[in-house]
Amino acid sequence: MHNILAGKNILLGICGGIAAYKAADLVRRLKERGADVRVVLTHGGSEFITPLTLQALSGHPVGESLLDPAAEAAMGHIELARWADLILVAPATADVIAKIAHGHADDLLTTCILACAAPLAIAPAMNQQMYKNIATQSNLATLISRKINVFGPAAGEQACGDVGMGRMLEPLQLVDAVINLFEKPKPLKGLRFCITAGPTREAIDPVRYISNHSSGKMGYALAQAAAELGADVTLISGPVQLKTPLGVTRIDVISAQDMFEAVMLHAPQHGIFIGCAAVADFRMAQLATQKMKKTAEEDGLTLKLVKNPDIIASVAALTSNRPFTVGFAAETEQVDSYAKQKLAKKNLDLICANDVSDPAVGFNSDDNAMTVYSKNAEYPLGRRSKTELASALISLIVEHYHETKH
C-alpha cells in the first residue's frame, strides 16, 4: 500500500490555523511512503509553523509569496501547478475554503489551485461554530459539487476549548485518504450518496428532549461502504457517538427540522438518497423557554406535540433533481405490510425493513437483518454484521439505481 505514493508529487498547502503544527508530521509521513512533497505556506500559516522546519522535512524550499522574484525564477506558481499530481490543503481554514469556492487567487496557494489541473483535496480545520456556519457549509457543498475531495473534519475537543466538529484529521488519516485517491478507480467513483443516520432530538425545554434508541451504526456503515467503493458521500447525522468514516463529509444536526433543512439543501446534489435516520415523528408544539418544574399539585404532565416534516417523502416528491430515494422502515410488528405501504405512499424507489423488536438485530446492536422491497420484488438480506449488510445493501441499491437510468 505504501508504494502507491512512490514518485507522486504532492503540493501541500498550509493555512493559518493551530492545526498547522501537525503539517510537519504530515510531510514526514507522506515522504516515508515515497511521495515528493513541496510546501506552500500562507501568511497565516507562517505564524504557526516556520518555513525552515518545513524545508528541512520536505527537502525543498517553501513557497510563501506569489510575487517573490527568486521563487518565480526557480519553480514559479505555474510550474508548481504543473508539477503537482495532487494539491492537499491541510489545514484548510474557513477563509481559504471560501476563497477556493469563489475562485479567488490573491496569494501563492490559491493561484496554484486555480492553475492546477490535478486533483484537489482539502482537510478543513476550524472552530466548531465556524464549521457549522451556513456560509461555510454552503462553500463546502460548492466544492463537493465540483468533485473536490473533502477529508474530514473530525469531532472532538478544540484548541479554543470548544467541543464539536472542526478538528483536522490526524496526519496518518490524511495519508490514508491520499493513498485512496491514487488507488485504482473504484466501481462507484462518480456516484454521489446523501445518507442520513442516527436519531433526532426534539427539545421539550432547555434541559429535556424526546428521542429514540438509534445508535446510527447502520447509517454510518452504509456511508463507509459507499465511500470505500469510491463514491462521494455526504452523511447528515443526528447526535451519535461514532467516528466519521474516512472520506465521508459529515454534517451534524440535532432536531428533525435541522435534518430536514440539511437534507433539502444537499439531497438534490446527489444521485442517491438513503434515509436511514430514525427521525422523530413529533416535536413540541411550543418549546418551553425555561426548565419545566414539577409541582406538588400535579401528578402528571401533558405535552402537546405536532408532526415533524416527513423528510423521506419530501425528497421523493422533488420534481427537479430528485435522487434515487431509499427509505427505512423500523417496525415492531407487521413489518412486511407496513414497509410495502410506506414504499407506495411515499413514492420511494426502495425500502429496507427490519424488525427492531428483536434485540439481536434492533437498535444499538452490531448485527442487523432486513428485507428490501421494490415496487415489484423483495430481497431478503439475512442476519449479519451491519458492516457486511451495508456492503450488500449498497450493491443492491446501485444495481436498482442503474436500472432506472437505462
Neighbours of 25 (CB within 10 A): 15
Q: CA 247 to CA 231: how far, in whole Å?
A: 9
Nearest to 355 by CA among 377, 380, 375: 380
Which residues are marked as active site?
160
- How many other β-carbons are positioned within 10 Å of the β-carbon of residue 33? 16
Q: What is the dihedral of CA 62, 67, 69, 72, to 10 degrees?
A: 60
The pLDDT tens digits for 256-267 are 999 999 999 999
pLDDT score for 361: 53
Look at residue 190 in the predicted model and tell me its pLDDT.
Answer: 87
Q: For the chain, which domains are there? A: 2-183 (3.40.50.1950), 203-288+303-405 (3.40.50.10300)
Other Cβ atoms less than 10 A from the Cβ of 65: the count is: 15
For residue 128, what is its C-alpha cell? 466548531
Question: Which residue matches cell numbers 490526524?
Answer: 170
278 beta partners: 199
Rounded to whole angstroms, the Cα distance separating 9 from 119 reads 12
- Per-residue model confidence as pLDDT tens for the chain (406 residues): 447 888 889 999 999 888 889 999 999 999 988 889 999 998 888 888 988 989 899 889 888 876 565 554 445 667 888 888 999 998 999 999 999 999 988 888 998 898 888 899 999 998 888 898 999 989 998 898 888 899 988 876 766 667 677 889 999 999 988 988 887 667 898 899 999 999 999 999 888 899 888 889 999 999 999 998 989 999 999 999 998 987 899 999 999 999 999 999 999 999 999 999 999 988 888 888 888 887 767 777 788 899 999 999 999 999 999 999 999 987 767 778 888 899 999 999 999 988 766 665 555 566 777 889 999 888 988 788 888 899 999 999 999 999 887 6
